[in-house]
Amino acid sequence: MNNRTIGGIVVGVVLLLGLTGWASTAPYLSNQGLGRTPGVIIGGTDTPAPSDFTSLNGGRGPLIMKMAGFPPFVVHLSYAGTPDGVITATRPDGGYWARRVREGTGDGWLRFGDETFAMHAAEVVGDARIPLLEQWSARTGMPMDSPGPEPLRDWEVFVWTPR
């Protein structure tokens, strides 16, 4: 073997280890019992967003979210559809996708069943979060006064609207 071949093998191994490390340590556990589910492909059919997102509450399956940008990141989220958009919530643990929204990468896609919508996420802060968390709580069944180190009232809230 020559140095060029050895160098190519080393680069390939480093890339493979990096990708495996990222996929196995992605910071999200699904809220829907689907386990650790990071990925890179959202699938589905690009579909115009509905005029009223409450229709999504009727059991179309889990919400699959993909953030725009690199690295690609796809996870399952719990949600509540509203007339104007989709509410998602996450623990206040410095999670990856919430951080990307805050850093200006709020564009992404939401998939319900086979339909994939181009959307934009915006964080809702302060007391304005509470009515949205109440809607999310009613849809997901998680009580507002849930016990634990991160009660639902402290969670971060994001509203997704069509882009």
Distances (CA, A) of 111 to 9, 72, 103: 37, 15, 23
Q: What is the DSSP letter of 84?
A: S
Phi, psi of 63 (to 5 degrees): -85, 130
Q: Is the pTM higher than 0.85?
A: no
CA atoms within 13 A on the CB side of 137: 17
pLDDT digits (tens, 9 = 90+) for 20-67: 665 554 444 333 444 444 567 788 899 999 999 998 887 666 789 998
Domains in the chain (CATH in brackets) are 29-162 (2.30.110.10)
pLDDT digits (tens, 9 = 90+) for 94-114: 888 899 899 888 999 999 988
